Amino acid sequence: MQSTPSQLPGLSDREAANRRAAGQGNNIPIQTSRTYWDIFRDNLFTFINGVYFFLSLVLIALGLVSDVLVLACVILLNVVVNVIQEIRAKKKLDKIALLTRPKASIIREGQQRDIDPSQIVVGDVLVVSPGDQIVVDGSIMGEGEIKVDESLLTGESDLIAKQVSDPVYSGSFCVSGTACYEAEKVGADSLASKMTAEARKFRKVLTPLQHRINMIIRLLLGVALLLGLITALRITLGVISLTTGVQNTAVIVGLVPSGLYLMITLAYTFGAVRIAQQSALVQQANAVESISNVDVMCLDKTGTLTANRIQLQTVYPIDLDRAKLETILGNYAATASTSNKTNEAIATTLPREKRPLKTEISFGSAHKWSAIAFGDSPGVYILGAPEILGTVIPLQTDLQAYIREGADQGLRVLLFAYSPTVTELRDGTGDPVLPPNLQPLGILRFGDELRPDARQTLAEFRQAGIQVKVISGDNPATVAALAKQAGLSNDIIAVSGQDLAQMDDAVFTQTAEESTIFGRITPEQKARLVKSLQSRKHYVAMMGDGVNDVLSLKQANVGIAMESGSQATRGVADIVLLKDKFSALPKIFLEGQRIRNGVADISKLFMVRIFSFILAIVAVGMITLSFPFGIKTSTIVMFLTVGIPPFFVTLWAKPDKPKGLEGNSFLHFVIPATLTLSLASILVYLYFLAENITPVFEWLNGQIPFDELGRRIAFEDIARAQQVAETAMITLQVLGGYSCSHSSSHPLPLGLEVSR
C-alpha cells in the first residue's frame, strides 16, 4: 500500500513561519534574466575599459587631464545608456518569468497545496508526480516509489529508482510514480539555486553568427596589437614622444570592438522583450537570434498539433459484458495514483469508484503501458499500446483490423487486458515487465482535438522554408492522419520506433532526413533523431511539453516548451510559449530574423568604423608621418558612430531573409563602405591640412616656388592645420557612421546595394 499525502500531516503554518524566521527558508532568485550586478559588471568592467583605465593613469601622470576627462565621460555615458536600457528590459522579462515560475506541491496542516518554491522550509513534506521538478534536496518518505532523471546534474540519462530513505536532489525531475519527500537542504545549501545554471551550462552553445563575430574580433585584436607594437617601436626609436605614443595607443585600443558584445547582448534583450509581446518567454539570451537559423522544426503531436485534450469515443468489449468492462475501466482510472490525460478521459466518461490499490505501474513513455492490481480482487489489469501488448497477446485478425482502422482515422487506440495471477511486475533492474497469461478485455478509442490554429501555423512554417517533422509516442498511422488533417501533404512518410530500433546509424540518419512522421518513439529515439538531423547540417528546433521531451529539447539547437508543460520541460527550454500559444511560433521566427539581421548590421557598422580608422591611420601616417586622431576626438567618434546608431539599427532591421557575416553579405557592404569612407576621410584631411598651411596653399596656386616651402612653413602652422583637418575628418566619420547604420538596412546611395 503506497503512502498518500493525506497520511502525512506535514508542518503547521506556525512551524513553517518559525523555521523561515530562523533562516531555514528556500530563498532562491528568478534566474530567467541576468542579475543587476551582472548587467553593471559586464558593461563597466570590460577588458578595454581596464586598458583605458591604465592608460588614463599614465596620461594623468603626463599632465593630460583634459584627455582623461573626455575619455571618462564618453565611456561612462555609454555604460549608463546600456545599463538603463538593459535594466528596463530585465524588469519586463522578470515580471513575465514570475507568472510562469514552477510551483511546488507540499503538505501543510495535513492539506496538500501548491506554493512558490521560495516558500519551502526545512522539514516540509513535498509531493512529486511525473513531470515535477525536485526543487530542494531531501529523502523519500513513506512507501511511495518514483523514477527520477538526474541528467541535469550528472549528464547521464539513465532513470534512477528512489524508494523510502533514498536521497533526491534538486535539479532532477520525476519521470514516473508518485512519492513524498522531506526537505532537508534548501536555499544556498541545496542544488536548487544552481539548477538553472546547470541546465544552461548543458545547453550553452554559440550561434553561427556569434562564432563569426568571435573570429572577426580576434582578427581585429591582432591588428590592434600590431599597430601597438609599431607605436612602441616609434617611441623606442625616438620618432615620437612618450606622451604622443600613449595618446596614440589609447586611440588604437579603441579599434578593438569590445562594445560589440554589449551591443549584441542589448539587441538580444530588446528582442526578448518584443518576443514576450508575442506571448513567449525567452530563457536563453541567444535563442532570440538562434531561432532564425532553424530549418527543421520537430513537434510532439500531443499539446502542439492537438490541444492536449482527449475524449473517450468508443469502448469495444472482447468476450466481456460492456457494462462490466466499463465499470472495471472506470475503477481503474479512479484508483490510479498518478493522473494523466488518458485516465482523466476515462474517468469523466465512465462510472467509477476508487478501490484499494495493491500494486501499480505508472504509464511511462519507454514501456508504453500501465498496470493496476486492486487490493480487493485477484489479478492485474493492463492498459497500453496495442503494438506493445500485442507482442504477448495473440490478437485475432478482426481485432487487428479494428485497431488499424482507428489509427488510420487519427484516433488514439489502446488495448485493455487482464492477467489472473499477480506476479512481480518489475525485473531485477527495476524496469517494468508484462505479466504472463494476458487476456484481452477490450479496445479503447480516444479522439484528439486538433488545435484550431494548427493548420495556419504549419502553412506559415512551409512558407518560411522550415521542414516540419512530427515525433510522437502514438501509433504512426494515428499521427499521420492527424498531421494530414493539420495540412501536411498526403504523401508524407511515416515510420515507427520499432523500425528505427532495427536500423544502423547510416540508415537511421537517412530515414530521419526523408521521413516526416515518427510514431511509437521513445525519449532516447527522439534525442537521436534530433542529433541525426544535426549531423546532416540542419539547425533543429524541438518543441514539446512532456517529461519525455526533455532529452530531445536539450539536444536540439533551440528547445521550445509549452507553459502548461511539465516543470522539467520548461526548465530546460530556451523559449516557453505562454498560454500555450502555438500560433505565436511563426511570429517568433520573424522576430528572430529581425534580431539576427540587426546583430549582423551592428557588426558590419563596427567593422566599417574600425577598418576606416585603420586605413586612415595608415594612409595619413605614410603621407604626413603624423597620427590623424587624438584621444578626445576618437572617443567622441566611437560613441557617436557605434554607440548611438546600433539602437536605431535594431529598430530598422527587417525580418526578411537572414543576413550574415559571411561571403557576399559581408564583402558587398563592409568593403565598399570602408573604402568610400576611408578615401573621403583621407582626402578631406589632406585638403584641409593643405588649405590651412598658407605656404602650401600659395604653392598649389602657383604664388610661390616649391623651394621656398621649407623656409615659409612654421611648426605652429602645421599644428593648427592638423587640428582643422582632424576636425573635418572626424565630422565626416560621424556622418559616415550614421549613413552606414542606415544603409546597413536600406539601399545605399549612389547605386550601391546592400546584399541581403
CA-based nearest residue to 227, from 249, 198, 202: 249
Residue 233 identity (one-letter amino acid): L
Contacts of residue 216, defined as CB under 8 A and 6 or more positions apart, other chains included, come to 257, 603, 607, 661
CA distances from 703 to 695, 696, 721 (A): 9, 10, 19
The answer to whether 26 and 188 have CB atoms below 8 angstroms apart is no
Tell me the C-alpha distance between 264 and 357, whole Å. Answer: 57
Residue with cell 523510502: 164
Three cell numbers, residue 749: 546611395
Residue 74: strand, helix, or coil: helix
Q: Where are the alpha helices (DSSP H) in 284-435?
A: 287-290, 322-335, 341-349, 386-389, 397-408
Q: Which H/E stretch holds residue 89?
A: helix 65-99
Tell me the C-alpha distance between 251 and 632, whole Å. Answer: 9
Q: For this structure, is 300 an active site residue?
A: yes
Residue 104: strand, helix, or coil: strand
CA-based nearest residue to 282, from 265, 295, 299: 265
CA-based nearest residue to 597, from 676, 522, 651: 651
Per DSSP, what are the bridge partners of residue 126? 106, 181
Q: Are strands 125-128 and 173-185 parallel, antiparallel or unpaired?
A: antiparallel
Three cell numbers, residue 503: 536500423
The answer to whether 178 and 597 have CB atoms below 8 angstroms apart is no
The answer to whether 515 and 495 have CB atoms below 8 angstroms apart is yes
Tell me the C-alpha distance between 192 and 108, whole Å. Answer: 21
Residue 559: strand, helix, or coil: strand
Of 300, 474, 545, 549, the active-site residue reads 300
Tell me the C-alpha distance between 534 and 537, whole Å. Answer: 5
Residue 732 identity (one-letter amino acid): L
Q: What angle do CA 101, 103, 106 make, to 5 degrees?
A: 160
The answer to whether 359 and 432 have CB atoms below 8 angstroms apart is no
Q: What angle do CA 216, 217, 222 make, to 5 degrees?
A: 100
Question: Residue 347: exposed, middle, or buried by beta-carbon count in 10 A (0-12, 13-18, 19+)?
Answer: buried
CA-based nearest residue to 63, from 252, 253, 246: 246
Tell me the C-alpha distance between 660 and 212, whole Å. Answer: 9
**Other C-beta atoms lying within 10 Å of the C-beta of residue 375:** 11
Tell me the C-alpha distance between 481 and 301, whole Å. Answer: 11
CA-based nearest residue to 605, from 46, 216, 39: 216
Tell me the C-alpha distance between 566 and 169, whole Å. Answer: 18
Residue 635: strand, helix, or coil: helix
Residue 382: strand, helix, or coil: strand
Tell me the C-alpha distance between 492 and 17, whole Å. Answer: 59
**Other C-beta atoms lying within 10 Å of the C-beta of residue 344:** 14
Q: What angle do CA 650, 651, 656 make, to 5 degrees?
A: 80
Contacts of residue 215, defined as CB under 8 A and 6 or more positions apart, other chains included, come to none
Per DSSP, what are the bridge partners of residue 140? 181
Asked whether the CA dihedral 248, 251, 257, 259 is positive or negative, the reply is positive
The answer to whether 195 and 171 have CB atoms below 8 angstroms apart is yes
Indicate which residues carry an active-site annotation. 300
